[in-house]
Chains A and B, each alone.
Chain A
Amino acid sequence: MNRQIRQLAVGIMACYVVLFVALNYWQVGRKPELDARFDNTRQVLREFNRPRGPIVTADGQVAAVSFPTAPGEPYDFRREYPTGDLLSDITGYYTFAFGSTQVERMYGDVLTGTTTEQQVRGLADLLGGDVGTTGTVELAIRNDAQEAAQFLLGGRTGSITVIEPATGAIRAMYSNPTYDPNTFVNADFDVAQAAITELQNADGNPLLAQAYQERFMPGSTFKVVTTGIALESGLVTPDSVFENEREWVPPQTNDPIQNYNGSLCGGDLPTVFARSCNIPFAQMSTLLGPEAMVGGVSAWGIGEELPIDLPRPAASTFGDTENLAQELPLLAIRGFGQSEVQMVPLHMAMVAATVANGGRMMEPYAVQATYDQAGRVLDRTSPEVWKTPISPATAEIERQFMIGVAERGTASCCIALEGGIPVAAKTGTAELGDPTNPDLSHAWIVAFAPADAPRYAVSVVLTDVQSTADVAATGGRLAGPLAKGMLDFLLTGPGSQPISPSTVPPSTVPGDGP
């Protein structure tokens, strides 16, 4: 019988060898294929069920936080956005079935504590009895500035962006239409799907942060760029004088270019800049020629995705430049920000900030620091220069021009700041040329203040506005008061108080929430 027993032993052993081989087949051999299958939710589910740290604003407002759910719920945590629609452009959302966006997406590894550094620190902490590795993301955005921006827009479509010229820190970036992530992030699949589909199909792309993920025709605010290129090339100086005229016919066409409202406009460069005549900038653009203009705008970062620390930034564009030499009228029109030129609102704020910052364009950032679960700094964003499109001298000239705009130009109606703080600005009214609605335009303003020691640069755009009998829909009249409101709030208003120093809380341990 012993022979049979030995054979039996071999037989059962063989059975288990088969199991071992099969286990290798599934866990090693076919792992990549199974992991990649569309209906395999394991990895996203594992990620989803991890504790997730909070996102807080620079002034300490919690913008996103997780709470553990009751036992029996499908997921272990519930993600909440206490500020509703105020910061959703920045925080984005975090869902199981529909992915994540913005900071929730870019900083997911920090929030869940899966960066190598956090893992190593967590291991060390574990030995000390402390567990968990979730991280905190601290935004550069200020909640109070964001609230001011939301208030100033008052429901109108458009966006307000405030950055610090010297660092690139984004202190406010709010746009309408927007959305409240709380309406779907913790909802059942069907409800969430319906809500997201509705938002995706809604007018104005509420799910996008218009301020940095969309671009709009900039109108005359673009003259800051054209002037910069012309000054840098030596084509013009502050003393250059432009003829006082109503119409100008560019080469290769008989169709004349007019100033805004067909007005008579001319004078020296500071004057045509302050009055925002179109013809001088069309002429500058044409004289510079396609090559210099295309090269010039790319020095301002136009055509590149903005180097922001948030996902899917838009790139500003100077339009199709293939045959520009044969299309000089187009080149002329683009010189004052019409036709195919489109600028990202954040990029326009960066253009103003470049003038304010002696010609250096800083990389914009929405996140200023990340912290581990014990409140220790993981990473602090250090300001980086992105482009240097103009020299300090040119920047100084343009600064004076922009002060002129605020003091006696197109913005003088509306931007004088509280307390007489000097301000510099440039307005823009982008005529969309909609044949059914010729009055439809985007009202723009870019500004920075104090003009002599700039602390904030702001860009405001109100999209799809129309002139009425009383008020012409110009950038100065419509957008100007918003820039003033924003700068007043930050320089002399409630926002001028120093924000509480960065005592960022240790990442909220789930369960200890407010």
Chain B
Amino acid sequence: MTALDETELDVVAESPLARSRRTTELTLLVMAALITGAAYTITALGTNAEIPPGIVVFVGILLGLLLCAHVVVRLVARGADGTLLPLAALLHGIGFVMITRLDDELAGLQATWSLVAIVAFVATMLIVQRATDLARYSWLFFFGGAFLLLLPLAPGLGVNINGARIWVSLGPINFQPGEFAKIALAIFFASYLADRRELIAASTWKVGPLHLPEPRYIAPIVMAWGFAVVVMVFQRDLGSSLLFFTLFVVMMWVATERVSYLLIGTVLFGAAAYFSWTQFTHVQTRVDIWLDPWADPLDRGYQIIQSLYGLADGGITGTGLGRGNPDQVPEAQNDFIFSSIGEEWGLLGASAVLMAFVLLVGAGLRIALRTDRTFEKLLAVGLTTIVGIQGFIIIAGVIKVVPLTGITLPFVSYGGSSLVANYILLALLIRLSDSSARRLRELPDDPTPSERWKAWRLTRRLRREKRRAVA
């Protein structure tokens, strides 16, 4: 294809499908902003009985930020699914309102982090213009991810907070590198498995009755399992460990199409979990609290009991925004933000949050189904699994479905690292969605700006050489 013709480059062919997706996105974004603004107002009314003085400014800035993100999507990924960004914005908005309601000081910080997160989103959209570019740096992502994951264990850098060693302190900034590590490792795995899925699935290595893949092909998988164990044992972060492991196992399963990986993964994780339950008191404590929080209602069981009381107090329609007492739950703005939502927004509001996650997962997996490239499929699966499973683990924890493990609720919880990482993740999903749309010829696959720049330089060189040849 001689697409490198200058006249053809200038043609910006319009696609009705892309335009309607962007219109949908814009409409939904405005709705998300209005819902957030309304919730913010009602919460202020509920707590102080006054309409917040800066409400217009607040909604204005909110809309401005979301419009920035939207415009960038419109410019560089106009074929992408129009629901991803609004869903994230809605969750982010609900979370922000709850954080404001719980702690003014944290709300200020969270506002700053929101800005950083949108900037990170925009930057990711602009830098990663071709999803396949990511595959080229897969080993960089592997080592980067491993480095980030192990960073909190470094003496002098890592900090123990609430018993978990998942924080890194660099001067005034604390962050959780694990939030970024999971994305890096998802990229690595997508790339690694895309290249070697047939080899791994072939299982040519026989050990007794078992057919296993060649050791060198499963080595990275074993390393991943090792990571999960390290996180569980040394960082005492059960939730992240479960998340990592689920991520790897799901990606292996989808890539190889073999259920056995799912089973082996479950057995391996179960073994590791059982081992840590027998060996570590903090794991036993978590399990004991989960089994019967009322055994120690004022100390170890206090948090989960207060969470459940809050949920019960909320009932179907909730206590009303700003009218409940979610601050009874320690760490309400963090791990327990979902029970705060359940208390003040009721079963209806909490179900809306669940729906938003289900829709987000649905949109993510639809990308995986639509694209025809294995790497993109696996990456979409990986990223979606991160959001979906992380949401499940923490929500299930606060409503006593599984033992509580402290991780953040994506987009909703307070926390800079989590918010920024999740917006990067979202940008990658949108990028994948856009490229699948282009691959399906729903809109012309026009070159990216960097490709145009290269093309322009190439034509100039060609022209120069032609001129030189003529001369």
Q: Which residues of A contact B (CB under 8 A)?
A: 1-6, 8-9, 12-13, 15-16, 18-20, 22-24, 26-28, 30-31, 34-35, 37, 39-43, 45-46, 49, 51, 71, 126, 129, 131-132
Contact = CB atoms under 8 A, between A and B. Distances in A.
Interface string B169-205: 0000000000000000000000000000000000000
Nearest to A3: B257
Interface stretch (B226-234, B269-277, B345-353, B432-440): B345-353
A27 B319 contact: no
B313 interface: yes
B310 interface: yes
A3 B381 CA distance: 12
A131 B354 contact: no
B456 to A, nearest CB: 38
Contacts of A18: 396, 401
Contacts of B378: 1
B49 interface: yes
Interface string B394-438: 011001110000000000000000000000000000000000000
B362 to A, nearest CB: 7
Nearest to B339: A26
B361 A43 contact: no
A12 to B, nearest CB: 4
Nearest to B305: A39
A30 B315 CA distance: 10
Contact of B392 (A16, A26, A31, A40): A16
28 contacts: A1-B254, A1-B374, A6-B365, A6-B369, A9-B365, A12-B361, A13-B361, A15-B396, A16-B358, A19-B395, A19-B396, A22-B396, A23-B311, A23-B342, A23-B350, A23-B354, A27-B312, A27-B316, A28-B316, A34-B312, A34-B313, A35-B309, A37-B309, A40-B312, A42-B324, A71-B104, A131-B49, A131-B50
Contact of A16 (B253, B354, B400): B354
A167 B319 CA distance: 42
Contact of A8 (B312, B347, B385, B401): B385
A35 to B, nearest CB: 6
Contacts of B305: 39
Contact of B319 (A13, A31, A46, A131): A46
Given A27-B315, A28-B315, A46-B325, A12 B389 contact: yes
B279 interface: no
Given A19-B354, A42-B324, A131-B49, 9 more contacts: A5-B377, A5-B381, A8-B385, A12-B385, A20-B351, A23-B311, A40-B313, A46-B313, A46-B325
B250 interface: yes
Contact of B49 (A8, A46, A132): A132
A49 B312 contact: no
A41 B395 contact: no
A40 B310 CA distance: 9
Interface of B: 45, 49-51, 104, 250, 253-255, 257, 297, 305, 308-316, 319, 323-325, 328, 342, 346-347, 350-351, 354, 357-358, 361-362, 365, 368-369, 374, 377-378, 381, 385, 388-389, 392, 395-396, 399-401
Contact of A13 (B250, B358, B369, B401): B358
Contacts of A2: 369
B354 A34 contact: no
A12 B392 contact: yes
B137 to A, nearest CB: 23
B309 A22 contact: no
A26 B350 CA distance: 12
Given A1-B377, A31-B312, A23 B351 contact: yes
A131 B51 CA distance: 8
Nearest to B361: A12
Given A16-B392, A23-B347, A34-B308, A42 B328 contact: yes
A46 B312 CA distance: 13
Contacts of A132: 49
A4 to B, nearest CB: 4
Contacts of A35: 309, 312-313
B254 A4 contact: yes
A1 B368 CA distance: 9
Which are the 5 A-B pairs with shortest beta-carbon distances? A34-B312, A42-B313, A132-B49, A4-B254, A27-B347
B45 A131 contact: yes
Contacts of A28: 315-316, 347
Nearest to B381: A5
A22 B365 contact: no
A132 B48 CA distance: 9
A46 to B, nearest CB: 6
A224 to B, nearest CB: 52
Contacts of B315: 27-28, 31
Given A26-B311, A28-B316, A8 B381 contact: yes
Contacts of B311: 23, 26-27
